[in-house]
A = this chain, B = another copy of it.
Amino acid sequence: MDAPPRWLDPEQKAAWDSFIRMQETLIGRLSRRVQAESGMSASDYIVLHNLTERGDGRMRFLDLAKLVEWEKSRMSHQVTRMAKRGLVAREECPDDGRGAFIVATPAGYKAIEEAAPQHVEHVRRLFIDALTPNQLSTLGRISKRILDHMEKQPD
């Protein structure tokens, strides 16, 4: 045990560093934009987007949490804050006494409908437009591949 660390070779390290910096810069800029332009946090945006995109803006708490792949505690805090700001509301679930529905309020719909087009523009401007269609689809395939690989890995 305690084998010598297998450091990354220079090409691997270069690729990793570029990826990390790119991803951090991109996400950082996008979330600051959403925040500045809509007054919503990036998390608010994600929740409303997923809640309203398909369906009727109404979802079981844990279904929503699974959809966006968040821990339930994170979602619970998030919903509390958003409820405080009037973007969503909690509703009791008749079928299951423990359960709760999360519902987008009219203000929530308004917020996401105003924010979404701007957000798409920024995604285009910073990300999509940087690449040829081919590169974009390559990046998509590679991402999917990493994702599939991670699913097979512990933790």
The interface of chain A, by Cβ under 8 A from chain B, is: 5-8, 11-12, 14-16, 18-19, 21-27, 29, 32-33, 69, 116-117, 120-121, 123-131, 133, 135-150, 153, 155
The 10 closest A-B pairs by CB, nearest first: A15-B140, A5-B117, A130-B149, A18-B143, A22-B143, A19-B143, A130-B146, A18-B144, A22-B147, A23-B23
Other than A21-B143, A29-B155, A130-B145, give 20 A-B pairs with Cβ distance below 8 A: A5-B117, A6-B124, A8-B128, A11-B133, A16-B127, A16-B128, A16-B140, A19-B140, A22-B147, A24-B69, A25-B69, A26-B146, A33-B155, A126-B149, A126-B150, A130-B149, A131-B142, A131-B145, A135-B142, A139-B139
Q: State the copy count for this chain.
A: 2
B131 touches A5 (CB 8 A): no
Cα A25 to Cα B149 with chains together (Å): 11
- B144 & A22 in contact (Cβ 8 Å cutoff): yes
Please indicate the chain B residues that have their CB under 8 angstroms from the CB of A69 in the complex.
21, 24-25
Which of B15, B26, B144 is the one whose CB lies under 8 Å from A136?
Answer: B15
Give the complex CA separation of A64 and B46 in angstroms.
32
Nearest chain B residue, comparing its CB with the CB of A18: B143
Instruction: Report the separation of the CA atoms of residues A125 and B152 in the bound assembly, to the nearest whole angstrom.
Output: 11
- A117–B3 Cα gap in the complex (Å)? 10
Pick the contact of A14 from B117, B121, B128, B140 — CB < 8 Å? B140
Residues of B within 8 A of A128 (CB): 8, 12, 16
